[in-house]
Amino acid sequence: MDLKSLYAQILNEHNLSPNHKGVLEDATFTLHGVNPSCGDNIYLQLKIDENGIITDGSFNGSGCAISQASVDMMLDDIIGQNKEEALRLARLFMDMIQGKVSDDEALEELDEAASLKNISFMPARVKCAVLGWHTMQEMLSSGKTDASASNPHCTVCE
């Protein structure tokens, strides 16, 4: 199997059988992220303990395969990390998507999310890939949460 096929397989697995899709009842933070250019729409939820460790996370909503797989991979990467490490991984992911970092060794930290590296060559899909990561950055950097999203089941998205 070539590398391109492996990347497509990883993307499909996270899109068709996401590990983190659903509602997290006791979330500390919930934030709605929208990509108006294509209609991707997610509610990201994180549970953060008193030490700043992300102990759980989930997402709900709808969108293209890239947006859904990317947020699921992101949650794989950040659960168990502290907020600062999650934000550092987000910066690395953004740099990868913008083509600023392409060294496979440097991208190993992103685990399966590194499979989205070639999105940098598809400008129309960049916003799809970064939606979950950008929403997480906004949430953790500002402490922003969406009180109106306390029930993040999106009937429009289903």
pLDDT, tens digit (0-9, with 9 covering 90-100), for 83-120 = 999 999 999 999 999 999 988 899 999 999 999 998 88
Q: What is the pLDDT of residue 152?
A: 44
Residue 153: left if φ>0, alpha if ψ -120 to 50, beta else—which one?
beta
Answer whether residue 1 shows pLDDT above 70.
no
Say which DSSP state 93 is in: H
Average confidence score pLDDT of the chain:
88
56: enclosing H helix or E strand:
strand 54-62
**pLDDT class for 151, splitting at 50, 70, 90?**
very low
Answer whether residue 157 shows pLDDT above 50.
no
The residue assigned the tokens 């939820």 is 45
The pTM score is: 0.88
- Closest by CA to 91, choosing from 55, 136, 28, is 136
Q: What is the pLDDT of residue 18?
A: 95
**pLDDT class for 34, splitting at 50, 70, 90?**
very high
Amino acid occupying residue 42? I
Is residue 40 within 8 A of residue 34, CB to CB? The reply is: yes
Taking residues 24-30, what's their average pLDDT? 94
